[in-house]
Structure 1
Amino acid sequence: MDSNSAGSVQYDRWNEDNINMNVEGSQSTVMRIFNTVCMGSTGIAVKTAGALAALVSIYIIGYVTGYYVHRC
């Protein structure tokens, strides 16, 4: 493509070295909190605590339901 002809687009002004690929800086606050809480050893602890809380709540719901169903 001839850069001197009328109506042509000059691509030589594009500098690919100045493209900012900083993904970490453009993340929202929610995503930063998610990455902090759900990744690494902290994430394992949070998932373990959540699983334990879910099991305990299911046990309590089952106990209360069984109590009211079987009381005669």
Structure 2
Amino acid sequence: MQTQESGVQYSRWDDRSRDEVHVVAGSGTEEAWSWQRVSRKLCSGKLGIAMKVLGGVALFWVVFILGYLTGYYVHKCK
């Protein structure tokens, strides 16, 4: 059984209940592949480690500044 709408091919072979499912490439595969390449490049290797470290440092400073401002306005003397 093959359906062109869903992009999935399903075939059952042998009587040993082994199923084989294939996902067929659709029209947006080029865009998906480019995003996968960018994601793979930015999230792995030395560049990926550097991006994660920079993201962690940036997140730290955002939380620190928000906490400082919140604490300042909560504990401000009237």
TM-score range, shorter chain: 0.5 to 0.7
Identity of aligned residues (%): 40
Q: Mind listing any 5+ residue stretches in structure 1 that lack a counterpart?
A: 1-25
Give the distance between the partners of 2:66 and 2:35, measured in 1 at CA: 32
Aligned match of 1:28 in 26, 33, 37?
A: 33
| 4+ aligned runs moved over 3 Å, structure 1 | none
Q: Which runs of 5+ in 2 are unaligned?
A: 1-29
More strand per residue: 1 or 2? 2
TM-score for the superposition, normalised by structure 2? 0.57
RMSD (Å), alpha carbons: 1.3
**Does residue 49 of the first structure (1) align with residue 49 of the second (2)?**
no
Deviation at 1:41, TM superposition (A): 0.3
Determine the C-alpha separation between the residues in 2 that align with 1:31 and 1:51: 22
Larger relative CO (CA 8 A, sep 6+): 1 or 2?
Answer: 2
The TM-score, its normalising length taken from structure 1, stands at 0.62
Residue 54 of structure 1 and its aligned partner are, at CA, apart by: 0.3
